[in-house]
Amino acid sequence: MNFIDPSAQIDSSVQVGYFSVVEKDVKIGKNVVIGNRVTIHEGTTIGDNTTIADGAVVGKPPKPAKTSTVKLSGTIPALEIGEDVTVGANCVIYRGAKIGSNTLIADLASVRENVEIGNFVIVGRGVTVENYVKIGDRTKIQSNSYITAYTTLEDHVFIAPCVTTTNDNFMGRTEERFDKIKGAHVKRGARVGGASIILPGITIEEETFVAAGALVTKHTEPKTLVKGVPAKFVKMVDERELL
């Protein structure tokens, strides 16, 4: 048995599984498939041909801890999910996010509020995308990576599995940190290898190749390959590999 608020606007072609909840003022387009035990929170908009898999929670209202660095300000707009999107099983996508068309948010991923995700993006299994993140078109983030708050990933970026981005050099101590919190800026076409760590405020320039396991402590130069702990220049990226 499902609960669907009378104010929800749901096209007649929509399929809804068992034990799902659709709250008030939700708008769901044509040919959408909603699995079992799905919760769609108030005001969420879902585009045509989108699939929401079992156990997903979409449009969840944020409620940060009192000690959280990122504070809520003003009204948080409703979640917007575009057309032809796939939301995997047990994903949690917060109110205040905007998901472009033809994007995949894989099983167990978490996408926080104030996040913009472009078109044809892949957010892999178990990926965490924190607040105030921007992800460009055709970017791929593979399983278990952590995209910290205030990070920008431009178009055609590749983030391999288990990559960690950071944004706080003070690690939670001193008031000075609040004005200096900043995530990475990974520019168009850059590739970051598995289990790499990017320190706060680092810019990964266009077409940079960061080798697996690198610790990136300084801004990179465009089209360079860097590796090591700390990461250092090795060579220029082969012209055949550039976008």
- The verdict on residue 66 lying in a domain is no
Residue 129 lies in a domain: yes
Q: Is the residue at 28 inside a domain?
A: yes
pLDDT of residue 177: 72
Mean pLDDT, range 40-63, rounded to an integer: 97
Domain span at 26: 3-61+74-241
At residue 173, does pLDDT exceed 90? Answer: no
Within a domain: 67: no
Please give the average per-residue pLDDT across 166-188, as a whole number. Answer: 85
Instruction: State yes or no: pLDDT of 175 exceeds 90.
Output: no
Q: Is 184 a domain residue?
A: yes
Please give the pLDDT value at position 156.
Answer: 98
Sheet-wide strand order for 33-34 = 15-16, 33-34, 51-52, 86-87, 104-105, 122-123, 140-141, 158-159, 191-192, 209-210, 224-227, 232-236
Q: Using one digit for the tens of pLDDT, what is the confidence trace for 141-165?
A: 999 999 999 999 999 999 999 999 9
Does residue 113 lie within any of the structural domains? yes
Contact between 64 and 71 (Cβ < 8 Å)? yes
179 has a pLDDT exceeding 90: no
Query: What's the CATH number where 108 sits?
Result: 2.160.10.10
User: Which pLDDT tens digit goes with each residue over 24-42?
Assistant: 999 999 999 999 999 999 9
Number of domains in the chain: 1
Phi and psi angles of residue 140, each rounded to the nearest 5 degrees, phi first: -125, 125
At residue 104, does pLDDT exceed 90? yes
* Residue of 12 and 169 predicted with greater confidence: 12
Are 20 and 8 spatial neighbours (Cβ–Cβ below 8 Å)?
no
With bands split at pLDDT 50, 70 and 90, how would you rate the model's confidence at 16?
A: very high
Judged by average pLDDT, the poorest of 62-66, 79-83, 193-197, 229-233 is: 62-66
pLDDT-based confidence at residue 218 (cuts at 50, 70, 90): very high
pLDDT at 167: 95
List the one residue out of 15, 16, 18, 22 whose CA is nearest residue 1.
18
CA dihedral sign, ordered 60, 65, 70, 75: positive
The whole model's pTM is what? 0.94
